[in-house]
Amino acid sequence: MTNIVINNYRTIEQDIKNHKSEANSCNVIAVSKTFSLEKILPLVQDGHVHFGENKVQEALLKWTDTKKDFPKIKLHMIGKLQTNKVKKAFQIFDYIHSLDNKKLADTIKSNEEITKKKLKYFIQVNTGQEIQKSGISFSELENFFLYCKNDLKLDVIGLMAIPPNDGNEESHFKNLYQSGISLGLKDFSMGMSSDYKKALKYNTTFLRIGSLIFGKRNQ
């Protein structure tokens, strides 16, 4: 009998195939934050590669041994990353989706030099200019991107956004996509359980999906 988590993932995978051409590959980050390893392991054992967490300590506890057992796993930091957590983040994550300020970028660069480890980064954009959300503004994006890319030599591969839940998600995805293309970027971290089909219309390459795969969270 197939595990329900795997069945849920297969459904999303089919949706992606229905919405996108083969030329536009799209990765699903299974957002495993707050879920137990017992709940996650069937998907790991099935060969899924991309998983997302939003807290460094939880990720270390959950994934340190698991990544040793399954070395192809790529772990994504999808939550706000504080500068004092960067050193530990480098011990477990492969991608960081929340790069949005110079202090964080400088700290990341220092850790790259110390560890000799290169991660991949998304710049988080606050597309709705919401006070309660992290992310850089569109007006600051180009200068910040050039600083990270040219001055710090960080491997910035794309843009990330969490748009307002205001019914206009598509316009936010469109603006993010157009901004990324203008900067020569090809990867986009946009689309979650509630709006991933809309994000597929605007060439997202990384969906961040949790509850549709693992079920409702207890917290």
- 152 inside domain: yes
Rounded to two decimals, what is the model's pTM? 0.94
Q: How confident is the model at residue 24 (pLDDT cuts 50, 70, 90)?
A: low
- 150 inside domain: yes
**Residue 41 CA: distances (Å) to CA of 49, 58, 63, 184, 216:** 11, 16, 11, 36, 17
User: What digits encode the pLDDT tens for the residues 81-119?
Assistant: 999 999 999 999 999 999 999 999 999 999 999 999 999
Separation between Cα atoms, residue 86 and residue 110, nearest integer Å: 10
- 53 inside domain: yes
Write down the pLDDT at residue 219. 53
- 168 inside domain: no
CA 73 to chain centre: 14
How many independent structural domains does the chain possess? 1
Share of the chain above pLDDT 90, in %: 85
Separation between Cα atoms, residue 51 and residue 59, nearest integer Å: 10
The CATH number of the domain holding residue 208 is 3.20.20.10
- 20 inside domain: no
Judge whether residue 2 has pLDDT over 80.
no
- 219 inside domain: no
Structural domain including 127 reads: 4-13+25-163+174-214
Mean pLDDT calculated for residue range 194-215: 94
- 101 inside domain: yes
- 154 inside domain: yes
Q: With beta carbons less than 8 A apart as the criterion, state whether 201 and 173 touch.
A: yes
User: What digits encode the pLDDT tens for the residues 117-138?
Assistant: 999 999 999 998 888 888 999 9
Write down the pLDDT at residue 23. 47
Separation between Cα atoms, residue 121 and residue 123, nearest integer Å: 7
Write down the pLDDT at residue 1. 47
